[in-house]
Amino acid sequence: MRAGPSQEEIRRHNLGALLRHVHLGGPTSRAELTSRMGLNRSTIMALTADLTAAGLVREELPRETGRAGRPSLVVRPESARVYVFALDVGVDRLVAARVGLGGVVLDRRETVRRRGPFVMEEVVGPLAAFARQMHRKTRPDTVCVGAAAAFSGGVAREDGVVRFGPNMDGAEDVPFGEEMARRLGLGLPVTVGNDANLGAMAEHTRGVGVGCRDLIYLHGDVGVGGGVIVNGTLLGGHQGFGGEVGHMIVNPKGRSCGCGSLGCLEAEVGERALLEAAGRFENHSAQPYNGSGALIGRDAVRAVVDAADRGDIVAQAALGRVGDWLGLGVANLVNIFNPEMVVFGGTLREVYLGSAAQVRSRITTDALPPVREHLRLRTSALGDDATLIGAAELAFAQVLADPLEVLARAGS
Amino acid sequence: MRAGPSQEEIRRHNLGALLRHVHLGGPTSRAELTSRMGLNRSTIMALTADLTAAGLVREELPRETGRAGRPSLVVRPESARVYVFALDVGVDRLVAARVGLGGVVLDRRETVRRRGPFVMEEVVGPLAAFARQMHRKTRPDTVCVGAAAAFSGGVAREDGVVRFGPNMDGAEDVPFGEEMARRLGLGLPVTVGNDANLGAMAEHTRGVGVGCRDLIYLHGDVGVGGGVIVNGTLLGGHQGFGGEVGHMIVNPKGRSCGCGSLGCLEAEVGERALLEAAGRFENHSAQPYNGSGALIGRDAVRAVVDAADRGDIVAQAALGRVGDWLGLGVANLVNIFNPEMVVFGGTLREVYLGSAAQVRSRITTDALPPVREHLRLRTSALGDDATLIGAAELAFAQVLADPLEVLARAGS
């Protein structure tokens, strides 16, 4: 603290803070903003005027409040006008969306990704095509203020390069963001984050974990990813790879994992572990199809949970086995992090719902009592799009940090 | 950011920041403080004058610098005058120390604690007696500005109560700090922290981890404790129990642990695991003696490492086994946290040195390559007193946050 910040710095900070309030909280009355932000009415009015002039928010009369007196104007984010591109690169799907300020998914395209080695063009090509299609449909007065991607792999903080992807051969030292930005051709960088980390951010800012400062998000896709919120902030670690809880070894003589180790959480509770235990796994490395056929992929995982639900004892036993390892993994993480909440997302949402008894029983046995006492286990509120929504939040980060500056650049 | 902080808030902040500089960095010239703190010379002079008047620092001419021109005065902490009481409650030892500003251990007493159930009087009594003895020896112009204790157990942030101690039966819901403060009778609260957490803080602020923002400290005593620094801050978690990495299960069909689970890291690499593997364990639950007899305790652990070093193949095999599990545990933590450094402290210092090949080999096998690439493995710089020094830092926290206020209260 050298000296106080300048008036201009305070104004920029407050503009971002106000925009963040309506971005995350939705339409909010000036009176509420005044009380929530601890600023006086005239300051709120001035900030709102600036953001309105920039086209980031608009003010409207509220619906009938039922109260007497002059109603406070409601500040709304300009969701239809100000948007970002959010991308999601999963092992077996690619998603692109146009997401408006306020977190509204305005447009969304999805396609299957063939499992197997990472080939840049096969990922960047379809995503860029989706973005072009969606861009073509926008009205002339709209403005794109950012782009970001969730990637199923480890992303270095330093340069945004994908350094490893245990379920995508060849996704090593891949400058995916740079190439994606070039192909989008919007003059915008594409920030890249680990998919589960972004899922954690999404659930923390606008999902089941709102208001929760210590949270673990577990994301089931083909493998198992994790994102950890520590005291309100995403755990990044020294290089940005923090949260790779899927490669915590829980069963040292267990199943082999894509990372080369034995008995990682991912190897014991991932897609293949469940399908094999349920007698439903076939080696599809030669057969590219997935998804709709329900032989592999999230539909296949969900089919096992459904079968167990209908009384299929093989499916029940498979879920029981997987739930036991999942519970052990969660117990470990609970002892290590003392979180307030653990969120099960992606396919782990259904796996958890189908094996909650085993998961809870393991936690009771293996987590220290005072540490598990207040623990809440929850399923993702954002579903399969948690990672995509997280990418959108990453893309919005800059405009929320300095709204007028970013908008001036985007508009020019 | 409602508005800028007041002049008075800035002054208090800067007083604390300057005091922290000389507390952690030792005697520092005014010129160096000016450049490090980014403040101008007259501000540094005014702050130093205030701290000098309060008796927290003094200014001296430096030793011959060899340079021409008027030398810059050196600001030194008043280590002999301003001190805290630091306490350390281990499973089999009790330590009390008087630690001067700047981290100088001015006086130190230690006694053996009989293993077995926690009995408040048997812990509080000897520590209070030590404090009285040390207090009696102080000069009249000295001032005690805080007291804190490291405790081998889980401490709730909310109320400072010890909630669990897997290696100390009955250390459950124990208001140790409150009772300790009453017995010290200094009119000061006794802040309590988990011993390994405080060890992590100590290594981070004045040990091997200085300058390192993401660090894991593993503390071997009877059990295994942990403290994790995430982006420069101690991981506390929702209730303050964060970092209990000793109760991460690494071997689900493994040895039984004091916490009730099987195969916790503590059960596989703790004192008893090593002594049993080395054929040196006898059940001493009926025999209270420990420490000097080298049958149990840190001396016994070190005797195994020494024996292995001299070529004892049984001791070597025992260390190899324990090192393998230690390496697996560290690999897990490396994947989860992506730390810059892992520090082995307490008895794990020697265990690591005696089994570094196994530890490193496991990390190479089980940690994701980009995550382990830049990892540094180090041994504690503060040795067996890391936890005690951490308690001292906890005790100094308040005077560093608001020097003049705390000193005024202490002097009154």
**pLDDT 10s per residue in chain B (412 long)?**
555 678 888 999 999 999 999 999 999 999 999 999 999 999 999 999 999 999 999 999 887 666 667 778 999 999 999 999 999 999 999 999 999 999 999 999 999 999 989 999 999 999 999 999 999 999 999 999 999 999 999 999 999 999 999 888 889 999 999 999 999 999 999 999 999 999 999 999 999 999 999 999 999 999 999 999 999 999 999 999 999 999 999 999 999 999 999 999 999 999 999 999 999 987 654 444 444 444 788 999 999 999 999 999 999 999 999 999 999 999 999 999 999 999 999 999 999 999 999 999 999 999 999 999 999 999 999 999 999 999 999 999 999 999 988 888 876 5
Q: B82-198+387-411 sits in which CATH class?
A: alpha beta
Residue intervals of chain A classified under CATH 3.30.420.40 are 82-198+387-411, 211-380
Using the Cα atoms of residue B257, residue B259, residue B264 and residue B270 in order, give the sign of their dihedral: negative
Interacting residues of A287 by C-beta distance below 8 A, sequence separation 6+: none
Collect contacts of A251-260 with beta carbons under 8 A, ≥24 apart: A251/A325, A251/B252, A252/B250, A252/B251, A252/B328, A257/A166, A258/A166, A258/A167, A258/A223, A259/A166, A259/B368, A260/B365
Per-residue pLDDT at B284: 53
pLDDT tier, A290 (very low <50, low <70, confident <90, very high otherwise): very low
Give residue-wise pLDDT tens across range B282-307. Answer: 765 444 444 444 478 899 999 999 99
pLDDT tier, A173 (very low <50, low <70, confident <90, very high otherwise): very high
Give residue-wise pLDDT tens across range B212-235. Answer: 999 999 999 999 999 999 999 999
Q: Does A369 touch chain B (CB under 8 A)?
A: yes
Residue A100 predicted with pLDDT over 80: yes
Catalytic residue among B88, B107, B195, B221: B195
The per-residue b/e assignment along A219-256, b for 16 or more CB within 10 angstroms, e otherwise, is bbbbbbbbbbbbbeebbbbbbbbbbbbbbbbbbbebbe
Facing residue for B10 by CB, picked from A3, A14, A214: A3
Which chain A residue lies closest to B333 (C-alpha atoms)?
Answer: A248
Q: Does B374 touch chain A (CB under 8 A)?
A: yes
Q: SS3 for A373? A: coil
* A contact residues 298-337, partner B, Cβ 8 Å cutoff: 328, 331-333, 335-337
* A160 or A3, which is more confident: A160
Residue A356 predicted with pLDDT over 90: yes
* B contact residues 251-280, partner A, Cβ 8 Å cutoff: 251-252, 259-261
- Number of residues in chain B: 412
Report chain A's terminal Cα–Cα distance, integer Å. 35
Please tell me the distance from the alpha carbon of residue B85 to that of residue B381, in angstroms, as a whole number.
Answer: 21
What is the token pair recorded at A67? 């109260």
Element (H, E) at B160: none
pLDDT tier, A291 (very low <50, low <70, confident <90, very high otherwise): very low
> What's the mean pLDDT in A305-328?
97
Give the residue from B159, B233, B241, B264 with the most A CB atoms within 10 Å of its CB, the best one to mutate.
B241
Per-residue pLDDT at B40: 92
Does the beta-carbon distance from B249 to A248 stay under 8 Å? no
Give the residue from B249, B343, B365 with the most A CB atoms within 10 Å of its CB, the best one to mutate.
B249
What is the token pair recorded at B367? 């940690």
Does the beta-carbon distance from A244 to B369 stay under 8 Å? no
Q: SS3 for A126? A: helix
Beta bridge partners of A342: A216, A377
Per-residue pLDDT at B165: 92
CA–CA distances in Å: residue B228 to residues A291, B26, B241 = 41, 25, 11
Whether A195 is a known active-site residue: answer: yes
Residue A284 predicted with pLDDT over 70: no
Per-residue pLDDT at A62: 82
Per-residue pLDDT at A292: 42
Per-residue pLDDT at A325: 98
Please identify which residue in the block is written with the tokens 């180790």. A261
Element (H, E) at B142: none
Which chain B residue lies closest to A5 (C-alpha atoms)?
Answer: B4
Domain B210-380 has CATH 3.30.420.40: yes
Interacting residues of A281 by C-beta distance below 8 A, sequence separation 6+: A272, A275, A296
Q: SS3 for A133? A: helix
Per-residue pLDDT at B66: 67
Please tell me the distance from the alpha carbon of residue B306 to that of residue B316, in angstroms, as a whole number.
Answer: 10
Give chain A's mean pLDDT.
93
Cα angle: B359, vertex B362, B368; to 5 degrees: 125
Please identify which residue in the block is written with the tokens 């080939």. A119
Please tell me the distance from the alpha carbon of residue A17 to that of residue A11, in angstroms, as a whole number.
Answer: 10
Q: Are strands A341-346 and A376-379 parallel, antiparallel or unpaired?
A: parallel
Per-residue pLDDT at B289: 47
With CA atoms as reference, report the closest residue to A345 among A201, A173, A234, A130.
A201
- Residue A146 is which amino acid? G
pLDDT tier, A295 (very low <50, low <70, confident <90, very high otherwise): confident
Q: Does A411 touch chain B (CB under 8 A)?
A: no
Query: Above pLDDT 70, what percent of chain A?
Result: 94
Residues A263 and A249 sit within 8 Å (Cβ to Cβ): yes
Residues of A in contact with B14 (CB under 8 A): 1
Using the Cα atoms of residue B329, residue A150, residue A203 and residue A300 in order, give the sign of their dihedral: negative
Residue intervals of chain A classified under CATH 1.10.10.10 are 7-77
Instruction: Tell me the CATH number of domain A211-380, given options 3.30.365.10, 4.10.320.10, 3.30.420.40, 3.90.1150.10.
Output: 3.30.420.40
Give residue-wise pLDDT tens across range A106-116. Answer: 999 999 999 98
Per-residue pLDDT at A282: 74
Per-residue pLDDT at A283: 59
CATH architecture label of B7-77? Orthogonal Bundle (1.10)
Please tell me the distance from the alpha carbon of residue A236 to that of residue A79, in angstroms, as a whole number.
Answer: 30
Does the beta-carbon distance from B366 to A261 stay under 8 Å? yes
Residue intervals of chain B classified under CATH 3.30.420.40 are 82-198+387-411, 210-380
Please tell me the distance from the alpha carbon of residue A171 to that of residue B307, in angstroms, as a whole number.
Answer: 47
Neighbour tally for B331: CB within 10 Å:
26
Per-residue pLDDT at A82: 97
Residues of B in contact with A236 (CB under 8 A): 231, 338
